[in-house]
Structure 1
Amino acid sequence: MEPQPQLIIPTPPASAVEATPALLIANNAGVVITDPVSDVVPTVDPAVESLITEVSQQQLMAYVRQLEGFGTRNAFSDTQSETFGIGAARRWIFNEFVRVGNGRL
């Protein structure tokens, strides 16, 4: 399996916009800086980083394959079947949340 390309989102350049009357009350200069240059260095929350490292590409692909197995995503598909259609997919997703929620749902 070929690795997925890394998504790169560029930082937009600093910009200024014309102030609306409401903003002029707060800032008498007439221009509002929407992305000021700052010395703030973004950091990664260790708890979030820990969660991200636990994400498994194999498990995500298994979820996709399982959902593909239910067939159509048509809103008018079978809602009663236990094996096909949006009803079966909906129940499987709910049961997965119950399972991974470990009783917290």
Structure 2
Amino acid sequence: MDLQDQLKNLFPDHQPTEEEEIVKSNDKIWMQEDPILCKYEKRKGKPVTILEGYTGADEDFKKLAKELKTKLSVGGSFKNDAIIIQGDYRDQIMKILKEKGFKVKRVGG
């Protein structure tokens, strides 16, 4: 049971206002026609997965980076318009992005 369900149980007569609905609609990430490039590199002997090619706003790409890191339970960063994920998670990342509706292209290997 999430927080919204608990609030509905406590306040069954409450009707959400327009401001609450606007906040919910802002959680969406801009979709693009071009594929996001998913590639694998080794940096200082350690594997990393790099996502590049997103043409939307940086804030949306940062939200996507945070969501990927939490779903995979790994570290990573957002630098120079690229998401850098620690480890080789190309298959899992591509699956998650395809479920969200993105086009993904695997580069190298």
Structure with more contact order per residue of length (Cα contacts < 8 Å, sep ≥ 6): 2
TM range (shorter): under 0.3
Q: What TM-score results when the alignment is normalised by the length of structure 2? A: 0.24
Q: What TM-score results when the alignment is normalised by the length of structure 1? A: 0.25
Q: Which has the greater radius of gyration?
A: 1
